[in-house]
Each structure stands twice: as structure tokens, then as C-alpha cells.
A and B are shown apart, each in its own frame.
Chain A
């Protein structure tokens, strides 16, 4: 298995631009999580899905952030408009219900908003 695949690995964008981060979870996993990692706040859960349905989006910082999961093999996290304080590493993770609750993380997208 190729693991959780995220793209792009790095993204540099100007303030005000729209940014879309992509994630392909492990086939068969029914939970998908979006995390943000910064030095100041550590790993923060933004939103998670179960069977493609958003379950908890209370971690989404504001309306500029949105996430979708149109099918079991793809999810996006969109920021519109982007701001410098959105600069962070964004991780996608997936998990299989009924196993040991372990998450498999992708390699992350390092976002820099200038």
C-alpha cells in the first residue's frame, strides 16, 4: 500500500489566494482526518470524516476553511482567502474502524502564505 498520499508537498502562495490541499487515504479506511501542525499550537485536529461524511468540524479555524470528501478515496481542504497566519504543515490521516484505532498520517503539505 502506498499509504496516505498528500499533494502538493509544498505550497507557496500570496495572501488572498485560494489554496487547495489534497489527500488520498488508504484504501478501505473509513475515517479521514485533517490536522494542522505549528510550533505554537502543535497538532490540531481541523475536521474528520467517517464514510465520507463530516462528523466534527469544530477545529476549523474560521469560514475561510472548508473541507470535502466526495468519495472514499479523495478529500480536499480549501482555504479561501489565504492569510499569512495559515502558514503551517497540514496533515491528512486515515484510520480503519475495528482495528487498533491507529492513524496513518501522510507526509504533509507545507503551506507558506506570503
Chain B
């Protein structure tokens, strides 16, 4: 089945700096790659996604890049703010079912003031 690896598991940055979280996936048929943000005591929330026909997508301070050849995708957060502190999960579709996401293990991002 699909396997999604996420790095790093923890990341600390100074406020205003950039943060990058990377994921690799195993199923070359995967075609949808969302990113979720989970704040303490809440459920994961979709923040951005990308499809396999696109190499990059940006939404204000957040961007995601996809390299299909290498089977990896990354989340980039620029000008980080304390409210960006949370656990971030990448995910990828599983070719056996268009509706089943496989999640990475998560990255605890801490933005230091």
C-alpha cells in the first residue's frame, strides 16, 4: 500500500523566518497531495493541496511544491508567525481508492517569538 514519509518530526524557527516540511510517497499513481494543520485540541484542517498536474501552488504565505519524478512534495511557510505553531500533516491518495488518504507522521512546528 501507500507509504508517506514526513520530515522533520519537529521544527523550530524564529518568527519571520521560513519553514519547510518535506514528504515522500511510494505510490507513483498518487495524484492528490493535501496538507493539514492540527492545532492543540482540534482536528486537522486542510490548508492547501496540490494535484499531480501542477508543480507548485501558492496561497499567501503558504506554498506547496511537487516533484513527481522524485515522488516528493514540500510545504513552505514564509514569514512565520506564532499562530503558525501547530502539527502539520502531509497526505497522499492511495491508488486503490480515490477517497482514501494516507497521512504522514506529522511535523510539530514551533515558531519562536
Segment from B18-26, B40-48, B58-66 that makes contact with A: B40-48
Contact with B along A15-39 (1 / 0, CB 8 A): 0000000000000000100000000
Given contacts A101-B32, A102-B49, contact A42 B100 (CB under 8 A): no
Q: Contact check, A107 vs B49: say whether CB atoms are below 8 A apart.
A: no
Report whether over half of chain A's contact residues are helix, strand or loop; otherwise say mixed.
strand
Q: Which residues of A contact B45 (CB under 8 A)?
A: 105
Task: Evaluate contact between A101 and B93: CB separation under 8 angstroms.
Answer: yes
**How many contacts between A and B, using CB within 8 angstroms?**
50
Could you tell me the distance in whole angstroms from the C-beta of A10 to the nearest C-beta in chain B? 10
Q: Is A42 in contact with B103, judged by CB distance below 8 angstroms?
A: yes
A32: min CB distance to chain B, Å = 10
* A55 CB contacts on chain B under 8 angstroms: 97, 99
Please report the total number of B residues contacting A with Cβ < 8 Å: 21
- Cβ contact within 8 Å between A43 and B89: yes
How far apart are the CA atoms of A42 and B41 in the complex, in Å?
15
Size bin of chain A's contact surface: 20 to 34
Bound state CA distance, A101 and B100, in angstroms? 9
Known: A43-B44, A107-B42, A108-B43. A101 touches B49 (CB 8 A): yes
Query: Which residues of chain A come closer than 8 Å to B98, judged between CB atoms?
Result: 101
Partner of B43 from the list A48, A50, A101, A107 (CB cut-off 8 Å) is A107
Chain B minimum-CB-distance residue to A106:
B43
Tell whether A56 is near chain B: CB-to-CB under 8 Å.
yes
Report the Cα distance A70→B105, complex, angstroms: 32
